[in-house]
Chains A and B, each alone.
Chain A
Amino acid sequence: MKTTASLLIAALALPAYAQQTLKTTERISFEPTYTQIASGKWTGKRLPDGQPDVEGHWSNTVGNHNNWTDPQGGIPGDPAPPRKPLGPREERAPSRVTDPVDGQVPFQPWAKAAQEDFLKNFHNPTQPQYIEPLARCAPAGVPKSLIWHGYEIRQYPGYVVFLFNSGTRIIHLDGKPHLPANIKLWNADSRGHWEGNTLVVDVTNNNSKALFGRTGEFASENVHITERYIFSPDGQRYNYVATFDDPSVYTRKWTATIPAKRRTGKDAVDGWHYEVALNKSGNQTVIERDERISTENNIGFGHVAVTPSAR
């Protein structure tokens, strides 16, 4: 049975020919600032069907799902905090909540209390609702999938497909109606279209069970998310700018921003942002993505506690 950990080892233990061209590192790095990208025309490469070509490997640049509003601030209350104490807040990447300006999700009082209750119990969960769903190997859902490891985008006529570390999103570009409202899904239901350099996606049918991160921010199954993936002209970065509308949880609409960067063969394999392996076609090296969703989800308690093999 293969786990994320062994996949990482597998990625690092490359055949000799691959080591010549693919660097590896154990350092997972993040950036302290967001890059601004304006909406506008797409001047880059296009696929034969006319879509901007954004295929390839991507990862967010500011942090994992430890903390939704202070992406580099660690998990509050962590009994094993990093050895180096955190500096002032302004030295770290700003909140992913870019509207309102205070960087906080505008929760209704009951929802704020529920988020704080989750966080308070996160480090020592005594009830099932305090166990992070991703630790049970549930899909990371929308939007957490975008801050949980790197991922691959593949494009086809009528579709943009996101292959995440834990989950898959098929974004339909053909304008078909959403699924009936009573069907709720971990990866939600997505309808998209391109506006210049921006992929605009209407997201409904979200079961919202994945939560946003270890700090416990959440939406309900009524949430309506409008996503804008704004790609830079050189195709190397994009910003995810999404409005969250859910009158059953929030006092107003709010906006999340998640910056992301393309990863290529020039980047070092770090087992997080960039989890790929090399193969060979003739003399050409080919970057591949090993199966992931099944290996993660099939294990009883995921990569947190691996089910021992019977053999």
Chain B
Amino acid sequence: MTRKLLAFALLAFVASHTFAADKIPRLSNGKPDFSGIWQTTSAADYDLEPHAARQDAPPGAGIVAGNVIPYLPAALEQKKKNFANRAKDDPALKGWTLGVPRGIYYPEPFQIFQRQRDLTLVHQFGHSVRTIHTNGTPHPGGDRNQFWLGDSRGKWEGDTLVVDVADFNDETWLDRAGNYHSEAFHVVERWKYLDANTIEYTARLEDKEVYSKPWDISVILHRHREKNFQLIEDYRFTLDYEQHYPPKPPVAK
């Protein structure tokens, strides 16, 4: 009985992996089509590094290869300060654009719209819009060199979308635990379908001002398949003043 089950499981495993590559959505040019609404179930945004439960975070095994972010000594001191002040200094608390890669593993959905020339990512949080160009264009550099979401240029390696992200500002954090980067930040993302409803997202993060060497993260993104699911804009930075609009009719006495 056990052997029969095992054989069945093995067959199912082989079948699913044989056909997975054929069943992923594709554009008319044959490239994988990542269109859809995606979200991680990981606790990465609380802290990229392994951590036990604490007042403001559930426990998590972290998503950093090797567990520890290789900070330079001075940068590690800054990170510790950020951590101590996270309840007021985390830019996400102000509703500001999360940046790359944080927007990908922040626990709110984002939608990918895809054409041959580019992918447009609309994040529910802040309604931030990011374009990943896949038309062979280079980073513009020069005066156009500081973006909240960096400048994204992608190319295809087989069925993997490899995105080089540069030209960042230093306003964003990587998580709620105060992990951070400078303007020298450079990210190389790899987007790959595991099956038609699951993306493996990995990224190599590099910053000579902050880290002693490049380091890697990896999360799984799941497709939202709930009936009629859609993004609902999350402009929480307007909450402080939005009660003043629009004018209301006089209250009857």
Contact = CB atoms under 8 A, between A and B. Distances in A.
Interface of A: 1-2, 6, 9-10, 13, 15, 48, 108, 110-111, 114-115, 117-118, 127-129, 131, 133, 136-139, 154, 156-157, 159, 161, 163, 167-168, 170, 172, 176-177, 179, 183, 185-187, 207-211, 218-221, 248, 277, 279-282, 286, 288-295, 297-298
Given A128-B244, A156-B115, A294-B149, A289 B131 contact: yes
A294 B126 contact: yes
B247 A186 contact: no
Contact of B242 (A2, A15, A48, A138): A138
A139 B127 contact: yes
Nearest to A132: B245
B96 interface: yes
A168 B245 contact: no
A2 B146 contact: yes
A279 B148 contact: no
A170 B231 contact: yes
Most buried by B among A15, A170, A288, A298: A298
Interface of B: 28, 35, 96-97, 111, 113-115, 120, 122, 126-131, 133, 135-138, 140, 142-144, 146-149, 169, 171, 228, 230-233, 235, 237-238, 241-242, 244-247, 249-250
B247 A163 contact: no
Contacts of A221: 246
Nearest to B169: A1
Contact of A248 (B97, B136, B249): B249
A138 B238 contact: yes
Nearest to B96: A298
A133 B241 CA distance: 9
Nearest to B233: A185
B127 A129 contact: no
A48 B127 contact: no
A289 B117 CA distance: 13
A291 B130 contact: yes
Given A277-B144, A294-B128, A179 B246 contact: no
A259 to B, nearest CB: 25
A308 B28 CA distance: 47
Contact of A280 (B128, B138, B142): B138
Contact of B247 (A2, A114, A138, A177): A114
Nearest to A139: B235
Nearest to A218: B246
B238 A10 contact: no
B250 A110 contact: yes
Nearest to A118: B247
A179 B113 contact: no
A2 B169 contact: yes
A298 B97 contact: yes
Contacts of A219: 246
Contact of A9 (B143, B235, B246): B143
27 contacts: A2-B147, A111-B249, A128-B241, A129-B245, A137-B237, A138-B242, A139-B233, A139-B238, A156-B115, A168-B122, A168-B127, A168-B129, A170-B111, A179-B230, A186-B235, A208-B245, A208-B246, A209-B245, A218-B246, A221-B246, A248-B249, A286-B135, A288-B131, A288-B133, A289-B131, A291-B147, A294-B148
Contact of A154 (B115, B146, B149, B242): B115
Given A1-B171, A209-B246, A179 B138 contact: no
